[in-house]
Chain A
Amino acid sequence: MSMTTARSVSPLARLFPDGLDPLAILLRGRAFFALIAIIIIFSMLSPNYFNVGNLLQMSQHVAVYALLAIGMLFVVLNGGIDLSVGATLGFSGVIAGFLMQGVNIPELGIAFYPSVWVVVVITVAAGAFVGWINGMLISRFKVAPFVATLGMMYVVRGAGLLITGGLTYPNLDGDEALGNTGFDYLGFNNFFGLPIGVLVMIVVAIIASLMLNKAPFGRWLYASGGNERAAELSGIPVKKVKVRVYVLSGVCASFAGIIIASELTSANPTAGEMFELTAIAAVVIGGASLAGGTGTVRGTLLGAFVIGFLADGLVIIGVSAYWQMVFKGAVIVFAVMLNAIEYKGRKARAASVPPPPTTSSAPQRDTSVDAAGAKIAG
C-alpha cells in the first residue's frame, strides 16, 4: 500500500470509522448486501422476479412480517422475546371477522353491524390487551418472557379457535345496506401505486423509528435493555417500559392480522402460525442483539425484506417447500453467527481505544446506537 492510496481515502475514512477494510464494510452492511444479492440472484434465475408487479406483490408479503418484526424489535431491545405475536395475528383476524359478521344477541333482541373503522379500533385494542397481559405477567409477576409469551401463544390461539368453532369466517366484504363495507380496502387497494399494507408498514416503521430515536421512551428502552439496574437507578420507569413494549408488540401483531384478513376477505383462526419465529429471525438478521439494548428499525426492515424476498424467490424458481425451509433456517443461523462476530469485534475495538489525552470535540466517531443502522444503508 502506497502513501497515495492512504491519502486518497482520508475523506472517506470519516464515513467509515473502521477504515475501508472491505470485510468490515460487508459485515456492517450485511443485511443490505444480502438483500441486493438475493435480488440479483433470483433476477438471473427467473425472468418473473424483477418487475414492478412482483416486487410490489412481495413487498405486500414482507409488510406482514415487517409489522410483526417491528413489534418484536421493541421487545427484543428490552431483552425479552414475544412468542405470542403469530397467535395474536390470528386472533386479531378472528375478532375483526367476528365483528364484521355482525354482533347478534338474540336474548336482548340486539343485532348491530359496526362500521369498519370501529372494527379496526376494537381489533387493535384486543391486540394491545394481549400484549398488556404479557407485559404484566413479565414485569409484575416475574414470569420469564419466553414462558409467559409461550403460554399466551396457546391461550390466544385457543381463544381464536373457540370464537370461530375452528372454522374460518368467510366473506368479510360487508354489506352496503348495513354500512360496514370497505374491510377489503386494506388488502386490495393501492395508494399512489403502493399497496395499503406496504403503506401501513412504512407509517408504522416511521413512527417506531421516531419513538426509538427522538422520544424519551426510546432512550428508556435502549437503556433498560442495555442495563436494567443502571436504568432503574437513573430513575427510568423500567417496569412501565417493559409493559409498554409488549403492548406495542401486540398492537403491531393486530395490524398484521387485519391486513391478512383483509387481503383474504376472510378470517382464519390458524393464520400466522410460526410467524413469531419469522419475526424474530428478521430482527436478528437486522443486527439486533437478543441480549437487548442493540438494534434499529432500519435493520429490522431489511431483515424482513431479506426473509420475504428469499422465501418468495424460492417459490418463484420452483424450489420445493422442504428445501425452502432448509434455506431459511440456514440464513437465520448464518445471520446470528455474523452478529456474534460483529459484537466481538466491536468489544475488542472499544477495549483497544486508548484513553485520549484531553477533553475535545475533535472528529466525531459515529458509533452511537441509533446511528448503527445508518451505516447499513449508507
Chain B
Amino acid sequence: MSEPSINEHGDTVVLRAVDITKRYGGVHALKGVNFEVHQGKVTTLFGENGAGKSTLMKILSGVVSPTSGRLELYGEEVEFATTVDAREKGVSIIHQELSLAPNLNVRDNIFMGRELLNKAGGVDYRAEDTEVRALMARLEENIEPTAVVSSLRLGQQQIVEIARALSVDARILIMDEPTSALSASEVEVLFKVISDLTASGVSVVYISHHLEEALQVTDFAVVLRDGSLVAADVVGNVDMEWIVANMVGKNFDLGEPPAPVTGGEVALAINGVSVEDPSSPGRLVVDNVSIDVQAGEIVCIYGLMGAGRTELLEAVAGRTPLASGQVLVHGSDVAALDVAQRIEFGLALVPEDRQRDGLVQTMSVGHNLSLASLGSMVKGLFLAKPHENQAVRNQISAVGVKTDGPQAPIGSLSGGNQQKVVIGKILMTDPKVILLDEPSRGIDVGAKAEVFALLSRLAGEGLAVLYTTSEVAESLSVAHRVIVMSKGRISAELDALGTAKEQVMAASGESVAALETNGND
C-alpha cells in the first residue's frame, strides 16, 4: 500500500471498477461502468431508482459478481467470491435493506460469523460486549449489547448495521442509503464518524437520495443513469443543478403532461386516511392523508423511501386495515370490502414488488394475465378456455407484451414486459380506479415510456389513475397533479405544469436548499 499522494485529481485510487457490466435475465443493470474509489475520500453515487447504484455497490462488495469487467484493489485484479471474501480483503458494506437477524441481540448481530473466542473455544461474550459498547460510544448511541434487534426502532437498527460495518476495520466502506431511517441528529453523528474514518485513511463510497445531505460529506460526485456512468467530478465543481440535470437526463422525454381534466366526477376519494405501522402499533406510517382523483385524471404521489406511499396504496386497495379515515369509490364507502370485492367494485392495485406481490412464477404468461378476472370466464362449472385465450391474446396486444405467446413461462420475459403483464392482469378486471405503486421500478427507459404512455391512454378512456414514484421526471411529465409525501404526510400538492423539479424534491425533504430558494406553491 503506497502513501496517499494528494493533489487535485491525483489521489491514490484504492479500488477501481473497469468496464463493469451486469445483466439480470433480460435486464441490463450496468452497461460498462468505470468507477474509482480514492483513498481517504468520500465518493458519492447519485442516480435515480434503477440507475444501477445498488447493483454497482453489490459488485464492489462481493454480493453479486459482474457479467463482465474486472475489479482492481490497490492496483491488483481481484475477484470477490462472497461478501466474507470482500470483507477479508478490506471492503465492507452497509446495505440499504437491513441485513440483521431480528431475533438475535445487537452483540450477536455485530459479531455474526466472526465471533470472538475465549481460551476454551467458546464465545467470549464479555469481550464482545466491551467492543460493542465502545462502538456505540463512538456513534453516540445508547444501545445495550444484549438488546434484541427486533425491539429496536428502525433508526437504531440502522445504527447497529453501521456499527457492524465499523467493527471490521474496513479500508473501504460502502454505505448504501445509510441515513434513510435516521433522525437529523443521528445523521450528524454519522457524518462526524465518516470524517473521522476518512481522516484515518478509510475510503468511503456513499449513496443517498438526500442530495443536499450527501453533498455535505462527499469529496467526489459520480452520477449513474440507466446503467451508465454519465458524469463524475470533484465536489468543488458540482452543485445541485448539475446533479439533478445529470440524474434525470436532458434528452429523454417520458411524454408531455396531459391536457388538464376539469369537472370530472370524483372516482376515488381518500379522506383523512391514517395507517398504523404493523410492526409498532401506535406509530402512523400514513398520517391523515386526503386525495381526490377524478375520472380521467392521472395523479402522482412523489416521495422517498419511507414516505408512506406503499402503505397508503395497500390500505386503499384493502390489503391492510385503515387506522382512520374513509375510502370512497364513486361515492360509496368500500371499508367493508376485502381485496377481491374491491377489485369487483373497480378498485385495483398494481403492487410495487412484482416478483413478490404481482406474479406467480410457476404459471405461464396467459395464466398470470387472467388470474384476477377468472370469475368472468366461467361457463357452468368450468373455465371457458377459448374465451379465456381470446381475452388473454387481446390483452397481450393491448398492453404490448413482447412474448412468445400465452404459454411462455413468465420468467422468460424482461422486467418491463413482466410489469405490463401485472398491469394487464389488473386491466382485465375492468377497473374504474387503478393504483400503481412504483410502476417504473426496475424496468428500462424504453419500457418506462411505454408504461406511462399506457397510463395516459387509459386516463383518456376515463380511468382514474393514481401512481407513486421516487423519480422526479416521472412525476412531472406524466401526471396532471403531483402530490408530494414526506414521512407519512402530504407535504405539497403541485400542478404538474409549471412546476420545477427542485420544487418537488424540496417538498419531499430531498433538498433543503431548494426549498428555501424556490419556496413552494
The answer to the question of B6 belonging to the interface, with a C-beta cut-off of 8 Å to chain A, is no
The answer to the question of A365 belonging to the interface, with a C-beta cut-off of 8 Å to chain B, is yes
The answer to the question of B364 belonging to the interface, with a C-beta cut-off of 8 Å to chain A, is yes
Q: How large is the interface on B (under 10, 10 to 19, 20 to 34, 35 or more residues)?
A: 35 or more
5 contacts between A and B (CB under 8 A): A293-B361, A293-B363, A346-B409, A350-B411, A359-B401
- How far is it, in angstroms, between the C-alpha of A4 and the C-alpha of B265 when the chains are bound? 68
Option from A231, A232, A354, A359 in Cβ contact (under 8 Å) with B26: A354
Instruction: Return the chain B residue nearest A371 by Cβ.
Output: B407
**B363 lies within 8 A of A235 (CB):** no
The answer to the question of A47 belonging to the interface, with a C-beta cut-off of 8 Å to chain B, is no
The answer to the question of A318 belonging to the interface, with a C-beta cut-off of 8 Å to chain B, is no
The answer to the question of B119 belonging to the interface, with a C-beta cut-off of 8 Å to chain A, is no
Option from B362, B374, B408, B417 in Cβ contact (under 8 Å) with A226: B362
**Closest A-B pairs by Cβ, 9 of them:** A350-B411, A235-B340, A293-B362, A226-B362, A226-B360, A353-B412, A234-B372, A214-B382, A235-B343
Over the window 175-217 of chain A, the binary record of Cβ atoms lying under 8 Å from chain B Cβ atoms (1 yes, 0 no) is 0000000000000000000000000000000000010001110
Please give the distance in Å from B408's CB to the nearest CB on chain A.
Answer: 6
- Chain A, range 321-378, C-beta contacts under 8 Å to B: 346-347, 350-351, 353-369, 371
- How far is it, in angstroms, between the C-alpha of A235 and the C-alpha of B349 when the chains are bound? 10
- Chain B, range 425-440, C-beta contacts under 8 Å to A: 425, 429
**A230 lies within 8 A of B402 (CB):** no
**A233 lies within 8 A of B351 (CB):** yes
The answer to the question of A223 belonging to the interface, with a C-beta cut-off of 8 Å to chain B, is yes
The answer to the question of A237 belonging to the interface, with a C-beta cut-off of 8 Å to chain B, is yes
From B31-39, B149-157, B392-400, the one touching the partner chain is B392-400
Name, among B319, B351, B381, B412, the residue most crowded by chain A CB atoms within 10 Å (CB to CB). Answer: B412
Residues from chain B with Cβ under 8 Å of A235 in the complex = 339-340, 343-344, 348, 372, 429
Name, among A210, A225, A368, A369, the residue most crowded by chain B CB atoms within 10 Å (CB to CB). Answer: A368
**B417 lies within 8 A of A355 (CB):** yes
Residues from chain B with Cβ under 8 Å of A354 in the complex = 26
- How far is it, in angstroms, between the C-alpha of A351 and the C-alpha of B404 when the chains are bound? 14
Residues from chain B with Cβ under 8 Å of A233 in the complex = 317, 319, 339, 349, 351, 357-358
The answer to the question of A278 belonging to the interface, with a C-beta cut-off of 8 Å to chain B, is no
Option from A216, A222, A293, A355 in Cβ contact (under 8 Å) with B402: A355
Residues from chain A with Cβ under 8 Å of B414 in the complex = 355
Over the window 22-50 of chain B, the binary record of Cβ atoms lying under 8 Å from chain A Cβ atoms (1 yes, 0 no) is 00011000000000000000000000000
The answer to the question of B375 belonging to the interface, with a C-beta cut-off of 8 Å to chain A, is yes
Please give the distance in Å from A375's CB to the nearest CB on chain B.
Answer: 13
Over the window 160-171 of chain B, the binary record of Cβ atoms lying under 8 Å from chain A Cβ atoms (1 yes, 0 no) is 000000000000
- Chain B, range 365-420, C-beta contacts under 8 Å to A: 366-367, 370-372, 374-375, 377-378, 381-383, 385, 393, 396-397, 400-405, 407-409, 411-414, 417
Please give the distance in Å from A377's CB to the nearest CB on chain B.
Answer: 19
**B364 lies within 8 A of A227 (CB):** no
**B405 lies within 8 A of A350 (CB):** no
Please give the distance in Å from A345's CB to the nearest CB on chain B.
Answer: 13
Residues from chain A with Cβ under 8 Å of B374 in the complex = 216, 219-220
- Known pairs A235-B340, A236-B371, A366-B407; A219 contacts B383 (CB<8 A): yes
**B362 lies within 8 A of A369 (CB):** yes
Instruction: Return the chain B residue nearest A295 by Cβ.
Output: B362
Given A230-B356, A364-B405, 13 new contacts (CB under 8 A): A215-B382, A231-B360, A232-B339, A233-B351, A235-B348, A236-B371, A293-B361, A346-B409, A359-B396, A360-B404, A364-B407, A365-B405, A369-B362
- Known pairs A210-B382, A216-B374, A233-B339; A361 contacts B393 (CB<8 A): yes
- How far is it, in angstroms, between the C-alpha of A359 and the C-alpha of B393 when the chains are bound? 10
The answer to the question of A229 belonging to the interface, with a C-beta cut-off of 8 Å to chain B, is yes
The answer to the question of A59 belonging to the interface, with a C-beta cut-off of 8 Å to chain B, is no
Over the window 167-210 of chain B, the binary record of Cβ atoms lying under 8 Å from chain A Cβ atoms (1 yes, 0 no) is 00000000000000000000000000000000000000000000
- Known pairs A230-B359, A355-B414, A359-B403; A368 contacts B429 (CB<8 A): no
Option from A223, A289, A353, A364 in Cβ contact (under 8 Å) with B363: A223
- How far is it, in angstroms, between the C-alpha of A214 and the C-alpha of B388 when the chains are bound? 11
Q: What is the predominant secondary structure among interface residues of chain A facing chain B? A: loop
**B360 lies within 8 A of A223 (CB):** yes
The answer to the question of A294 belonging to the interface, with a C-beta cut-off of 8 Å to chain B, is yes
- How far is it, in angstroms, between the C-alpha of A369 and the C-alpha of B404 when the chains are bound? 16
Instruction: Return the chain A residue nearest B351 by Cβ.
Output: A233
| Total contacting residues, chain A, CB less than 8 A | 45
Instruction: Return the chain A residue nearest B354 by Cβ.
Output: A230
Residues from chain A with Cβ under 8 Å of B344 in the complex = 235
Option from A229, A231, A359 in Cβ contact (under 8 Å) with B371: A231
Residues from chain B with Cβ under 8 Å of A227 in the complex = 356-357, 359-362
**B367 lies within 8 A of A369 (CB):** yes
**B367 lies within 8 A of A229 (CB):** no
Instruction: Return the chain B residue nearest A350 by Cβ.
Output: B411
**B393 lies within 8 A of A367 (CB):** no
- How far is it, in angstroms, between the C-alpha of A289 and the C-alpha of B366 when the chains are bound? 21
Residues from chain A with Cβ under 8 Å of B405 in the complex = 360-362, 364-365
**A351 lies within 8 A of B25 (CB):** yes
- How far is it, in angstroms, between the C-alpha of A167 and the C-alpha of B100 when the chains are bound? 56
Please give the distance in Å from B417's CB to the nearest CB on chain A.
Answer: 7
Please give the distance in Å from A290's CB to the nearest CB on chain B.
Answer: 13
Instruction: Return the chain B residue nearest A223 by Cβ.
Output: B360
Please give the distance in Å from A187's CB to the nearest CB on chain B.
Answer: 31
**A294 lies within 8 A of B372 (CB):** no
Instruction: Return the chain A residue nearest B410 by Cβ.
Output: A350
**A367 lies within 8 A of B407 (CB):** yes
Residues from chain B with Cβ under 8 Å of A226 in the complex = 360-363
Please give the distance in Å from A142's CB to the nearest CB on chain B.
Answer: 15
- Known pairs A234-B371, A359-B397; A222 contacts B381 (CB<8 A): no
- Known pairs A219-B374, A230-B358, A233-B357; A356 contacts B403 (CB<8 A): yes
**A229 lies within 8 A of B357 (CB):** yes
- How far is it, in angstroms, between the C-alpha of A363 and the C-alpha of B419 when the chains are bound? 24
Please give the distance in Å from B230's CB to the nearest CB on chain A.
Answer: 25
- How far is it, in angstroms, between the C-alpha of A371 and the C-alpha of B403 when the chains are bound? 19
Residues from chain B with Cβ under 8 Å of A371 in the complex = 407
- How far is it, in angstroms, between the C-alpha of A365 and the C-alpha of B412 when the chains are bound? 12
Please give the distance in Å from B390's CB to the nearest CB on chain A.
Answer: 12
**B383 lies within 8 A of A222 (CB):** no
- How far is it, in angstroms, between the C-alpha of A355 and the C-alpha of B349 when the chains are bound? 26
- Chain A, range 128-152, C-beta contacts under 8 Å to B: none
Name, among B362, B393, B403, B404, the residue most crowded by chain A CB atoms within 10 Å (CB to CB). Answer: B362
Residues from chain B with Cβ under 8 Å of A219 in the complex = 367, 370-371, 374, 383
**A230 lies within 8 A of B360 (CB):** yes
Residues from chain A with Cβ under 8 Å of B375 in the complex = 216
Option from A214, A346, A356, A368 in Cβ contact (under 8 Å) with B404: A356
**B411 lies within 8 A of A236 (CB):** no
Residues from chain A with Cβ under 8 Å of B393 in the complex = 361
- How far is it, in angstroms, between the C-alpha of A271 and the C-alpha of B480 when the chains are bound? 69
